[in-house]
Amino acid sequence: MIYQRSSALFVEAQKVIPGGVNSPVRAFKSVGGTPIYAKKAEGAYIYDEDGNKLVDYINSWGPMILGHAHKPVVDAVIDKTKSGTSFGMPTEIETDIAKLAVSMVPNVDKIRFVNSGTEACMSAVRLARGFTGKDKIIKFAGCYHGHSDSFLIQAGSGAITFGEPNSPGVTEGTAKDTLLATYNDLDNVAKTIAANQGEIACIILEPVAGNMGCIPPADGFLEGLRKLCDDNDILLIFDEVMTGFRLAPGGAQELFGIDADIVTFGKVIGGGLPVGAFAARTEIMDYLAPIGPVYQAGTLSGNPLAMAAGLAMLKELDANRNIFNSINEKTAYLHKGLAEALTSENVEHTINRLGSMISIHFSETPVTNFDSAAAASNGNFKKFFHGMLNEGIYIAPSAFETWFISDALTYEDLDFTIEACRKVAKSLL
Ligand SMILES: *Cc1c(COP(=O)(O)O)cnc(C)c1O
């Protein structure tokens, strides 16, 4: 495959954009090589600037659950654009999408729209702190909740409770209010709570982790967190930016039958436009300005084009609920095929899957938390990534990302992918 034009575009971009990209993972730093420049996309395929056709397993990191350039979404945006692109005034469509979203998601009465998943999670934590009158939060190592200061925290040396900034620019002061726990380890969470009695506002987590590869919650983990929160007056925040409107119409809350206190959204809810949202029961949401004391705002929040794309997407998912079975079945088929291909070439691997989220880890140990995800072979992942790319398959350029299956993928596409995996497996250790 030739990447001449992508290479040239990347050289130009680096002159005026830091690292050539507007979000770091796009730069291919962890796999090496030159990022591919997308030119257009349709259904399951991306066409790059060199004219290569790629089967897409990233799907814009999740939003394109029905494939690229899905007609009802595109038409809704084009239509809306003709009436003006932003007003800074309320519009009817904001209520339309809010009603639909609240009807699809269990256990929430009200929702507020923002412009990204980062904003949604940042605002949800502020709301939790304001509502409970407490400062500290618990997050899990390896879970990603966007790039706001409170979340850019890594495990401190030795101590189980204190985190350290993992980016310059995040202050020690901020870090001391974020406690880091181990995913799928209830004991560790209970100890963290005990060591900070009466100080914890919320526990935030990805109910199915997708930012250290795909890591499903262990049996009883979510139930256990719910109970710890109830027993200690702590709010439970499900970050459903990835899982919302993907694992089920009502996301992980519906799939696992567990109620969170605040839920955050992004990705699918915007249909490919910049949208995030957070939702909760009335008592909590009414703590927000203008009726409550917790401030939160946005010039372009609820933007009509973004709402049109999101509404068209949610309508499709709400009206055709078989989509969720369809993508789950496709992902299970892919799982089986990839596992057979890697096993037949004796490649050590673990495949994690839940619904339409799946990831391959080049390790034979079960991958259940950040440490076990980090222990897998990155050398094999790099070879696998470039091998697959060369066969025309576009997976995430990092071993810590999930593949997102779209309903536009056909069984021929999946067979093509499994065949490519069989070829590439021969080059792996
Ligand atoms: C992508 C993601 C975010 C951040 O969303 P942005 O729109 O990139 O700011 C937050 N949480 C989770 C679980 C995500 O996957």
Task: Enumerate the domain spans of the chain.
Answer: 4-69+322-425, 71-319
Q: How many CB atoms lie within 10 A of CB 221?
A: 20
Given the DSSP bridges, would you call strands 45-48 and 53-56 parallel, antiparallel or unpaired?
antiparallel
Which pLDDT band holds residue 40 (cuts at 50, 70, 90)?
very high
Is the predicted pLDDT of residue 159 greater than 90, yes or no? Answer: no
In short, whether 241's Cβ falls inside 6 Å of ligand 1 is yes
pLDDT at 42: 98
Average pLDDT, the chain: 96
Catalytic residue of the set 48, 56, 177, 239: 239
State in Å: Cα 117 to ligand 1 middle: 4
Q: Can you tell me the distance from the alpha carbon of 101 to that of 111, in angstroms, rounded to the nearest whole number?
A: 8
Q: What is the pLDDT of residues 235-265, one digit of tens each?
A: 999 999 999 999 999 999 999 999 999 999 9
Is 144 assigned a catalytic role?
yes
Angle between helices 221-232 and 186-194 (to 10 degrees): 10
Q: What is the pLDDT of residues 309-353, one digit of tens each?
A: 999 999 999 999 999 999 999 999 999 999 999 999 999 999 999
Which pLDDT band holds residue 224 (cuts at 50, 70, 90)?
very high
Nearest to 154 by CA among 146, 374, 143: 143
Is the predicted pLDDT of residue 62 greater than 90, yes or no? Answer: yes
Q: How many CB atoms lie within 10 A of CB 345?
A: 16
Which pLDDT band holds residue 155 (cuts at 50, 70, 90)?
confident
Q: Which residue has the tokens 């506002």?
A: 201
Which pLDDT band holds residue 164 (cuts at 50, 70, 90)?
confident
Q: What is the mean pLDDT of residues 194-217?
A: 97
In short, whether 270's Cβ falls inside 6 Å of ligand 1 is no
Question: Which residue, judged by its Cα, is nearest atom 6 of ligand 1?
Answer: 117
Which pLDDT band holds residue 66 (cuts at 50, 70, 90)?
very high
* Two tokens, residue 228: 């710890």
Which pLDDT band holds residue 156 (cuts at 50, 70, 90)?
low
Does the reported pTM lie above 0.85?
A: yes
Given the DSSP bridges, would you call strands 110-114 and 276-280 parallel, antiparallel or unpaired?
antiparallel
Catalytic residue of the set 134, 267, 382, 383: 267
Distances (CA, A) of 207 to 87, 236, 241, 385, 417: 36, 11, 10, 27, 28
Q: Can you tell me the distance from the alpha carbon of 18 to that of 316, in angstroms, rounded to the nearest whole number?
A: 38
Q: What is the mean pLDDT of residues 413-418?
A: 98
Class of 4-69+322-425 in CATH = alpha beta
Is 96 assigned a catalytic role?
no
Is 185 assigned a catalytic role?
no
State in Å: Cα 207 to ligand 1 middle: 13
Q: Which residues of 294-330 are buried (b: 16+ CB within 10 A; e: fewer)?
A: bebeeeebbbbbbbbbbbbbbbbbeeeeebbeebbeb
Distances (CA, A) of 144 to 127, 139, 224, 278: 19, 9, 21, 16
Q: What is the mean pLDDT of residues 384-403?
A: 96
pLDDT at 161: 52
Q: Which atom of ligand 1 is nearest to the CA of 143?
A: 13
Q: What is the mean pLDDT of residues 147-173?
A: 81
Q: Which atom of ligand 1 is nearest to the CA of 117?
A: 5
Q: What is the pLDDT of residues 85-116, one digit of tens each?
A: 999 999 999 999 999 999 999 999 999 999 99
Q: What is the mean pLDDT of residues 382-404?
A: 96
* Two tokens, residue 165: 């900034």
Q: Which residues pair with 137 in a beta bridge?
A: 178, 202
Architecture of the domain delimited by 71-319: 3-Layer(aba) Sandwich (3.40)
Q: What is the mean pLDDT of residues 288-311?
A: 98
More confident residue, 55 or 165: 55
In short, whether 402's Cβ falls inside 6 Å of ligand 1 is no
Which pLDDT band holds residue 160 (cuts at 50, 70, 90)?
very low
pLDDT at 429: 75
pLDDT at 1: 83
Angle between helices 411-425 and 378-390 (to 10 degrees): 130
